Structure formats: C-alpha cells, structure tokens
Amino acid sequence: MIPWLTPMLEQLFVEAAIETLTMVGGAAAIAIVFGLPLALLLHATDRGGLAQNGLVNRPLGLLINAVRSTPFIILMVAIVPFTRLVAGTSIGTGAAIVPLALASTAFIARLFETAFREVDRGVVEAARAMGATRLQILWKVLVPEAMPGLIAAVTVTLVSLVGYSAMAGAVGGGGLGDLGIRFGYQRFMPEVMASVVIVLILFVQGLQSLGDWLVRRVRRR
C-alpha cells in the first residue's frame, strides 16, 4: 500500500515510536516526581511564603535557571559522567532518559511553581487560621487548588520532551526524531522524514487535547 514502507522500515518505525514513548514517558515521570517537591520548596521558601528562606530559595532558583539555560544538546554531553553513574551506560534509550529527566525537572519545577503562585493567598491564610500545619497546607490546599495549573504544566513539559527526545539520537537514544534524521535526511528518503513529522504532530496534538480535557475536568471554577 505504501510503496517505500518495507517490512524492515515498518519495524524500525514501531521501534522508534516505542523509544520515543519510553524517553518521553520515563523523563516526564521522573520530572514530576522530583519537580513537584522542588516547586513546593521553591514556593514555600519564597518571600512571603510558608517557610520564607532566602538561603534555600536563591541557590535553588539559580541551579534551576542554570539547567534551564544550558542548551539541551550541550547538557546531554556535559553530564555524560553523571549519566554513566546513574544508568550504567551513556549510550541508548535508557541513558538518554537521564539528561531528558534533568532538563525537564528544572523546566517543570518552574511551571509548577507558577501554578502554586496562582493559588489565592487568602485560601492559604484561611487554612492557617483554621490551624492547618504547613505540610497540610502544601498537600491539602496548594496541590489540589493548583491542580489545573499542574496538569497544564505536565502537558507543556510532555510536548517539549517530544522535541528534546529528537536530539537524543546524538547519544544513541533512538526514537522517531533519530529515525527521521538517519533515513529521511542522511539516506535521502523524504517520505520517511515527512511520516515522522506527521506522526509527531499527531502525537503532540493528542497530548495537548488530553491535557486540556483533564484541566477542564479538574477545574471547578
């Protein structure tokens, strides 16, 4: 039906798609797990926060900014020793998750922090007046009240991860982006390149729609 889609290319396509999903999903999961406490820490230690502390807030903010401002392709090769330490190797899909997770943790922590900042301060004050502890305020007030913003932040992060994961080819991470470069560009098969792009567009569209739908569901305003 599609003349250029040989069984071998088809298999490569499926493998690449799985690799992309693995990298994006794995990195996003790690980013959420580490990004949420980081964002809460940033928010709480900020000026006027629940546990205002410049000695924690400023260095943490600086570190996050440093990670965010390093171009991903440079970050990837710069942390190769760390990647080797964590993943046991610096090559392959699993190894690519390490820099992707690092970059997206910094990214999502800032987005989460913004979502927390948008929670009405009056609600936090009311919780304090009712005798809530700081931990109760974090988990029972800030996180649920910021939920629409948190979900939107996850969506944005997932979409950017799809883009970043294309660069993972540089460390042998594979994935759809890598397939597009190797076959579409280096082997002069524009139809492969176009297919990769179309699949990625559909993928991102799907993610965005899912995210928007979830936001609408949890938003009670």
Copy the structure tokens of residue 106: 């910094």
Q: By CB under 8 A, name the one of 85, 120, 163, 190 that touches another protein.
A: 120
Nearer of residues 6 and 52 to another protein, judged by Cβ: 52
Angle between helix 7-45 and 54-69 (nearest 10): 160
Compute the residue count for the chain: 221
Would you give the end-to-end CA distance of the chain in angstroms? Answer: 50
- Choices 21-29, 69-77, 123-131, 159-167 (CB under 8 A): range interacting with another protein: 123-131
Q: Output DSSP code: residue 168.
A: G
Does residue 48 belong to the site contacting another protein (CB under 8 A)? yes
User: For residue 52, what is the DSSP state?
Assistant: -
* CB of 11 or CB of 52, closer to another protein: 52
Q: Does 51 contact another protein by CB under 8 A?
A: yes
CB-wise, 1 or 121, nearer to another protein?
121
Contact (Cβ atoms closer than 8 angstroms) between residue 35 and residue 108 = yes
31, 147, 152, 200: residue in contact with another protein (rule CB under 8 A): 147
Q: Are residues 39 and 118 in contact, defined by beta-carbon separation less than 8 angstroms? A: no
- CA–CA–CA angle 173, 176, 182 (5° rounding): 80
Q: Looking at 29-37, 46-54, 101-109, 180-188, which segment touches another protein (CB under 8 A)? A: 46-54
Interface residues with another protein (CB under 8 A)? 48, 50-53, 120, 122-123, 125-133, 136, 140-141, 144-145, 147, 218, 220-221
